[in-house]
Structure 1
Amino acid sequence: MRLLAILALALCAALSHAADRPLKTLIVTGGHGFEATPFFQIFKDNTNITFIHAEHGKGSSTAYERDDLYTYDAVVLYDMVQEITEQQKSRFKGLMDRGIGLLVMHHAIVNYQSWPEFERIIGGTYPEPQDQRGKVTEKLGWEHDVTIPVQIVAKDHPVTKGVSDFTIFDEIYWGYRTGKDSIPLITTTHPKSGKPLAWARTEGKSRVVYLQLGHGPEAFENPNFRKLVGNALEWVARK
């Protein structure tokens, strides 16, 4: 009995330590320019996160070939690439098999136009004018330097906890598609912007969030945007 009690205490201590440690996060970039210093500052300023940055190699999605890919609590996609091998697809889908969280940000919704499964996994897509499957896509576009009113839709969702309606200076997209099982988190009344601005879903054992906001320094420094990013990472990582 004493041995069982000791083992139980050790297990509780281990679980407590795991809950207290910062989220181990992999941030994936490549294929699209961005202002790196203020972007990464979002994560540096969050004491609940430790992160590693992986940039795709030219012509392929090499970040998914990392030996440590499956050791992370969450993966952040801030890339915009089309090239992905069958092996890299398998490695990416392995994240969902293991329950590793996925936060997809801004232009990463444009990834992998010729891989329909990616659209299903992240819960939407921003189709290019003619995607590589030969389909004629809906009218779409974007506009920089826009003042965007943001409204909270899912007020009881953990991703929006502590966030009220706010305004952000950022880039809007329109013409993107959203999956039927994607749960809207935030939206906007801006007449040109697509809606919603963020959504959540589950894929396999993983939780997935897409956040359309996040183009430049003005957005990166917005406290409400930062709160959404932090909340999203904790939710997808089940912390």
Structure 2
Amino acid sequence: MRSNLILTGGINHDFVDTAHAIADVLADAQFRSTVIDDLSEGFELLASTKFDLITLFALRWRMLDDDKYIPDRARWAYEISERDRHTLAKHVANGGGLLGLHTAAICFDTWPEWPELLGAAWVWRQTFHPPPAELLVRVVGDHALTRGLKDFLVVDELYHNLWSSPTSIPLLFADSAEDGSKQQIAFASATSTGRVVYNALGHDRDSVTTEGHARFLQRAANWCTLT
């Protein structure tokens, strides 16, 4: 089995429970996952242990973008260290896979290179999401990751107006109930060594275990770890 380190934790989501659901989904694709909800501890483990895949399913940043986060800052505000940036970037540079889910696009706001590495980013006062609702998620293009996958229904938050890297390849989109626009919600990118997928879905256990979404997650993990 391939090894997967799931880094998780943060506010407004049942991160640990959903992370274990992700681990179960990926176990069916022959991944053995370790779930850690302390990012510093997780990066320390990554620095000393080789993993085939890193899954970032977390909401950890400085929390300075809105006063509504003030009550949570003492416990949850986070700034990634230079050492941990290097550890994660080195993992990808050495051929490791990276799977970013949902709020991963908000993380690490003091790391300028993070959006490009992940392939997408939440942009404050531009990106937003309505409450969770049923979405018809459509496959776009003819990427090896999604080839043969069917469109699927899932109840989740639809992120609107994400920034995406010019080098990222769109994989999935859903139509906005707000204005009818097509919102791209998953992207793949590959360097000369490592592979990265960002998927904006994944609000909770019900989302990641929905059949079509689970199948996409399995395909994404497999693609990220192809060598």
Per-residue deviation, 1:55: 1.9
Deviation by residue 1:139-171 (Cα, 9 ceiling, x = unmatched)? 3322222111111103x4232244211221111
1:84 matches 2:70: no
What residue in structure 2 maps to residue 172 of structure 1?
A: 158
The alignment's TM-score, normalised by the length of structure 2, stands at: 0.82
Per-residue deviation, 1:227: 0.4
What residue in structure 1 maps to residue 75 of structure 2?
A: none
Larger relative CO (CA 8 A, sep 6+): 1 or 2?
2
**Inter-partner Cα distance in structure 1 for 2:4 and 2:133:** 30
**Inter-partner Cα distance in structure 2 for 1:39 and 1:54:** 9
Deviation by residue 1:22-47 (Cα, 9 ceiling, x = unmatched)? 22111011223325335423322533
Deviation by residue 1:79-126 (Cα, 9 ceiling, x = unmatched)? 121211111111111112211000000011101122220011011110
Matches for 1:1-239 after TM superposition, within 5 Å = 22-32=1-11, 33-34=13-14, 36-45=16-25, 46-47=27-28, 48-56=30-38, 61-66=40-45, 70-82=49-61, 83-129=79-125, 139-154=126-141, 156-192=142-178, 195-238=183-226
The alignment's TM-score, normalised by the length of structure 1, stands at: 0.78
Q: Which runs of 5+ in 1 are unaligned?
A: 1-21, 130-138
Percent sequence identity over aligned pairs:
24
**Equivalent pair of 1:113/1:127 in contact (CA under 8 Å):** no
Which residue type is aligned with residue 152 of structure 1?
A: V
Which residue type is aligned with residue 6 of structure 2?
A: I
**Inter-partner Cα distance in structure 2 for 1:183 and 1:165:** 17
**Inter-partner Cα distance in structure 1 for 2:82 and 2:215:** 35
**Inter-partner Cα distance in structure 1 for 2:49 and 2:117:** 17
Which residue type is aligned with residue 174 of structure 2?
A: T
**Equivalent pair of 2:161/2:183 in contact (CA under 8 Å):** no
